[in-house]
Amino acid sequence: MLKYNKVLVTGGAGFIGSHLTEKLVKMGREVRVFVRYYMGTKYGLIDLLPPNIRNKIEIITGDLKDSDAVRNATRDVDVIFHLGAIVSIPYSYVRPREVIETNVLGTLNVLVAAKENNVKKIVHTSTSEAYGTAQYVPIDENHPLQGQSPYSASKISADKIAESFFRSYKLPVAIIRPFNTYGPRQSDRAIIPTIISQALTKKIVHLGSLTPTRDLTYVSDTVDGFIKIAESPKSIGEVINIGSGFEISIGDLVNKIISIIGKDVKIESEKKRIRPTKSEVNRLFADITKAKKLIGWEPRVTLEEGLKKTIEWISKSLGFYKPGKYNI
């Protein structure tokens, strides 16, 4: 097991990143977070963390595309959890250059800086979107990669650059490939908060296509996957799926959420929310055999449990959302 104390989390102000940061602080690690600079004193979802956690985090602002900023942020750290990216698929349709430059060049800068600063381990974050629509199920790590959106193409590129640094320079990189993570603090750009926030406040839930299936993993399980991959020497040079090993259609997911909430709500599909035909990922269903065998990871939170926890948080945090507005 890798022993480490000082960690850097890029994208620590985001959904998964903030949960990972919180967990690492609770584990007693010295946590530095790299967040994108903008005017003001707000730091994304880090601001929602309890003061006893928030006050222990070192925050560095900058841009992943700035190699000097990234190099400075990676000094004197043992492990880098690289989650920093622009993650919205609809946004990548309208701003493909920004998404590709941030996700690809940003990853290159992290890898170069890690090499220069002799970082002991880098956990690079991929996405199940890299697989595209399943050619077979369950999807294992040998499944072909398909760039069905500018976002997924950018992540495939970043993954391959990370792989090349392992093969070319023996950089201790591991690639985590999470499937659809959900939970408290997730924005309504994601499907589950979109459904829940609308179902709690409106009579009609507006969505895109209802037929695609997704493999949904509660955020605490995903965070556990990050930590196990960081600690295991067996993960170096590997791509590891982190998912539930279970698929559910969007339509069935909506009905399940509505049933838990206990409210009579109608569902309508809106054209503007539907992906281009060849870009839609119709089926995601993870094979998590490798994670179980290689790093001893498997999910612990059921979909029912995770949805109840997420509904409870969103119901108390509706000011965080804009129900009904299509947020790309």
Kindly report whether the global pTM for this prediction surpasses the value 0.85: yes
pLDDT digits (tens, 9 = 90+) for 266-292: 999 999 999 999 999 999 999 999 999
Which residues are registered as beta bridge partners of 65?
none
**Count of residues in the chain:** 328
Which residues are registered as beta bridge partners of 35?
61
In angstroms, the CA 313 to CA 319 distance is 11
pLDDT at 56 over 70: yes
pLDDT of residue 3: 86
CA 54 vs. chain centroid, Å, equals 21
pLDDT at 325 over 90: no
Q: How confident is the model at residue 37 (pLDDT cuts 50, 70, 90)?
A: confident
pLDDT of residue 39: 59
Higher pLDDT, 281 or 324: 281
Which residues are registered as beta bridge partners of 121?
79
Burial class (CB in 10 A: 0-12, 13-18, 19+), 275: middle
Q: Whose CA is closest to 252, among 197, 286, 212?
A: 212
In angstroms, the CA 267 to CA 195 distance is 10
Q: Which amino acid is at 51?
A: P
What tokens appear for 271 in the block?
A: 């054209």
Which residues are registered as beta bridge partners of 242?
178
Neighbouring C-alpha atoms within 13 Å toward the C-beta of 273: 19
pLDDT of residue 41: 65
The domains found in the chain, sorted by start residue, are: 6-183+218-242 (3.40.50.720), 191-212+247-284+301-320 (3.90.25.10)
In angstroms, the CA 33 to CA 6 distance is 11
Average pLDDT, the chain: 96
In angstroms, the CA 240 to CA 291 distance is 6
Average pLDDT for 15-19:
98
